[in-house]
Chains A and B, each alone.
Chain A
């Protein structure tokens, strides 16, 4: 009974995680620009990997396996949002965003206010904004 339930949970979670990975791949192929591809790509990074890790911990239960599972989930939950944030920020600053697809751009107001506050006239704007990332 317990072994059958373990097998069923294993198969179900593997199929759901594989569906999330396939959805991320199809989203990478179909979606039009960097930000929407980023939206598709970050789904299996937390949910799919969490399902697989729970699956491993259910498959063979021991203290060492559960400690590894918690460590993997902790580090993936720590690093995946950071990398997604950095890629999205670089996409916005590097003009990889298709602005005709945006409904509203709330960051543009903050950028224009920061430009007005720091003075528009200097020609070294690119290097200055690279040095102080809080100004964008």
Chain B
């Protein structure tokens, strides 16, 4: 159990750090949007894993709100991105 949790923590960390790196040095705006979605999903997975390990349900509303409103940023950026924007 301990070894599995340490391995899971290392892999969550790899995913989150790669998403942060892509947010910082993404060649286009859409790459940054995709990477921020991956970061939000990683945070939701870590919250759920902590709840499942420690046998409590305190963070479930946080996960519900993140799942419902994580769409707003990516959809608004993708909808109103101008055609010539390459940053």
A18 touches B30 (CB 8 A): no
Identify which of residues 5-26 in chain A touch chain B, using a CB-to-CB cut-off of 8 Å: 7, 10-15, 17-19, 21-26
Question: Pick the contact of B74 from A22, A24, A83 — CB < 8 Å?
Answer: A83
Given A52-B52, A72-B60, A76-B67, list of 9 further CB < 8 A pairs? Answer: A21-B14, A28-B18, A34-B34, A59-B51, A60-B57, A86-B74, A90-B78, A90-B81, A95-B83
B31 touches A37 (CB 8 A): yes
29 inter-chain pairs at a CB distance below 8 angstroms, sorted by A residue, are A14-B5, A14-B52, A15-B8, A18-B12, A18-B15, A18-B49, A21-B41, A21-B42, A25-B14, A25-B18, A25-B19, A25-B38, A26-B14, A26-B18, A28-B35, A29-B21, A37-B31, A41-B34, A44-B42, A49-B44, A49-B67, A52-B49, A56-B60, A72-B67, A75-B64, A75-B67, A83-B71, A86-B75, A94-B85
**In the complex, which residues of chain A have a beta carbon less than 8 angstroms from the beta carbon of B71?**
79-80, 82-83
For the complex, give the distance between the alpha carbons of A28 and B2 in Å: 29
Number of A-B contacts (CB under 8 A): 175
State the main secondary structure of chain A at its contact with B: helix
Interface residues of chain A, those whose CB is within 8 Å of chain B, are 7, 10-15, 17-19, 21-26, 28-29, 34, 37-38, 41, 44-45, 48-49, 52-53, 55-56, 58-60, 64-65, 68-69, 71-72, 75-76, 79-80, 82-83, 86-87, 89-91, 93-96, 126
